[in-house]
Amino acid sequence: MNAFRKISLVMSVLAWALWMGGFTFFTAVSLRVAHKVLDDPGDFGFVTQVVTDRLNVIGLVAVLLLAVQLASVWRPMPLRSRLFVSATWLTLAITLGLMFVQHNQIDVLIDFQQRVVLDHDAFEVIHNRYELVATIQWFAAVVHLACLLTKRPGEKPVSG
């Protein structure tokens, strides 16, 4: 494995780990704890707004680094692997774009300074959509990483 491939693999996996690890910990642990500890769990939504904004930026960096890593191993990959890993990467990129858009749509529905939701019904619709897109993104991220790190019988490791 040449130096560029090694560096791109390490950087993309670290970025992926920060992005998806942060997302997974936040949704699986932090949100649950906040709902148990706070008198009004809705208050934690204002923390979520800031955290998800940061996670989306980290995600942008991760998706770009994953693209660089994918480009570094593209030529030796069999066609079927190229198609599959391209589909998962494209899913990551599209869902991340959707999440940026939806995050902005949610932002206009809340008054962060006053800590109030201006339109609860519209907020709920967009928030539910955001959660669905985030779930699809998380699944695609796990599959994408597995594709990049898995050696198939008869082929060179994609990372190599």
Q: Using CA atoms, how far apart are residues 24 and 63, in angstroms rounded to an integer?
A: 17
Encoded amino acid at 68, one letter: V
Q: Is the dihedral of CA 66, 68, 69, 73 positive or negative?
A: positive
Per-residue model confidence (pLDDT) at position 160:
47
Four-point Cα dihedral 76, 80, 84, 89, nearest 10: 30
Per-residue model confidence (pLDDT) at position 157:
52
The pLDDT tens digits along the chain (160 residues) read 588 888 988 999 999 999 999 999 999 999 888 888 887 767 778 888 889 999 999 999 999 999 999 998 888 888 888 898 999 999 999 999 999 999 999 999 898 888 888 898 999 999 999 999 999 999 999 999 998 887 655 555 544 4
Instruction: Spell out the residues 6+ positions from residue 14 whose beta carbon is closer than 8 angstroms to its own.
Output: none
- Find how far residue 131's CA is from the centre of its chain: 12
* Reported pTM: 0.87
Q: Which residue do the tokens 């699944």 mark? A: 139
Say how many Å lie between the first and final Cα of the chain, rounded. 5
CB 155 within 8 A of CB 78: yes
